[in-house]
Amino acid sequence: MSKPLFIKLLLLVIVFAVVPFALEGLGKGYYYQIATLAFVFMLLAASLHLVTGVAGLLHLGHASLYGVGAYVAALLGSKYGIGFTYGLPLAGIGAAFVAFLVALPTMRLMSIYFAVATLGIGQMLFLVFQNWVDVTNGPNGVMLFDGIDLFGYAINSELGIYYVVAVVAAVSILILNRLSHSYYGNALRSLREDDQCTAAMGINVTVMKIQAFVISAFFAGIAGALWAYTTGYISPNDFNFSQSILILTMVVVGGLGSLPGVLIGALLLILLPEVLRYFGDIRNIIVGLLMFGAILFLPKGLFGEVNALNFARRILGSAWSEDNSEKGIGWK
């Protein structure tokens, strides 16, 4: 068996056999909740990674687009009886649509101004969730009683729900993986490096930025639907500024521009507070110190971009390898 195939199979076995087996053995809903939370945030971090890590646009309102997805899914489900099967893609499309509307005027802004604009968008959407009581039910949030219903099959067991969440998150992350590890990804990376220069290469910079922003929002919306359906209750505070910052921290601690790093960052920041539960409230300080240390000693992240691209090219076999005399360089 070739090395790339082995690594891929290993990851599949861990996600779809080892972890669910362990969760069944532990047999408590609590562990399933943590697993779901980890998948949702890995997807959120992976989607923010495309905009902030790869295309280099500092995005401070990602959680609000995650919120749009969650509200679309929860409201369609609770008010109109549109279940998970259609609610999931519609949540993604809803978030992508909102992102497209806000992207049109903001994408020409440079660096810090773009960051401030996304901050404003995040706050604006948060206030909509909070105050548009007729539709969003305001601070009371939305209850979603119907469970996950897949093409007419109700999925009730915790294990079944785990598999739905894991498959949706894994497929989404695979798509994001392909987008950032391809020549399209190279084009996005060149925007981050020098967008004027990229334009001189014949690339429509504004269109590329809007694409990245909208695709990222689509997957944030998907994560929102997963969250709404697995917790059964959402409220505005799930999507406030501190959540945006949490996702951004996952991306930065994991490694800007590094998808594997970002996934590790998300896992770490979700699992660490749970593992440290024994320490009581001090755990937040411990997590903060660890983050501080990580940035201080590993400014390029836990798994930096250079290593991540090597990993994607040579270990996962995404490199262009027509000429066998060359080591894996370029993209398939």
Q: Does 108 bind another protein (CB under 8 A)?
A: no
Gap between the Cα atoms of 220 and 228, Å rounded: 12
Phi/psi at 179 (5° precision) = -65, -35
Choose among 145, 140, 146: nearest CA to 237: 140
Query: Residue 233 in 3-state DSSP?
Result: strand
Q: Which is nearer to another protein, 281 or 323 (CB)?
A: 323
How far is C-alpha 84 from the geometric centre of its chain's CA atoms? 19
Residue 47 interacting with another protein (CB under 8 A): no
Of 97 and 163, nearer to another protein (C-beta) is 97
Q: Which is nearer to another protein, 215 or 287 (CB)?
A: 215
103 lines the binding site for another protein (CB under 8 A): no
317 scored as a contact of another protein (CB under 8 A): no
Q: How far is the CB of 271 from another protein (least distance, A)?
A: 30
Q: Which is nearer to another protein, 192 or 283 (CB)?
A: 192
Nearer to another protein, 136 or 216 (CB): 216
Report, in Å, the least distance between residue 67 CB and another protein.
24
| Nearest distance from C-beta of residue 203 to another protein, angstroms | 5
- HSE-up (13 A, CA, CB side) for residue 98: 28
Residue 19: Cβ within 10 Å count: 16
Q: Which stretch binds another protein (CB under 8 A): 89-97, 101-109, 140-148, 172-180?
A: 172-180
Instruction: Please report how close the Cβ of residue 202 comes to another protein at its closest, in angstroms.
Output: 4
Q: φ, ψ for residue 83 (rounded to 5)?
A: -80, -170
Closest CA to 315 of 247, 260, 254, 262: 260
Candidate ranges 75-83, 114-122, 148-156, 324-332; the one touching another protein (CB under 8 A): 324-332
Amino acid at 64: S
Alpha helix ranges (H) inside 107-236 = 111-131, 133-136, 158-180, 183-193, 195-200, 205-231
Beta-strand pair 153-155/233-234: unpaired
Closest approach, Cβ 63 to another protein, in A, equals 23
Question: Nearest approach, Cβ of 96 to another protein (angstroms)?
Answer: 12
Rounded to whole angstroms, the maximal C-alpha distance in the chain is 65
Q: Does 205 bind another protein (CB under 8 A)?
A: yes
Strand pairing report for 142-143 and 233-234: antiparallel
Which position among 165, 187, 228, 248 is part of the footprint of another protein (CB under 8 A)?
187
Q: Quick one: tokens of 26?
A: 């532990």
Helix (H) or strand (E) holding 10: helix 3-13
CB of 53 to another protein, least distance (A): 11
Map the footprint of another protein across residues 224-283, applying CB under 8 A: 257
Structure tokens at 145: 């009683």
**Contact flag: residue 204 with another protein (CB under 8 A):** yes
- The C-alpha atoms of residue 204 and residue 198 are separated, in whole angstroms, by 8
The window from 129-137, 173-181, 234-242, 247-255 that contacts another protein (CB under 8 A) reads 173-181
Residue in 79, 104, 135, 194 binding another protein, rule: CB under 8 A: 194
Binding site for another protein (CB under 8 A): 175, 178-179, 182-187, 189-190, 192-194, 196-205, 211, 215, 257, 305-306, 309, 320, 322-323, 326-327, 329-332
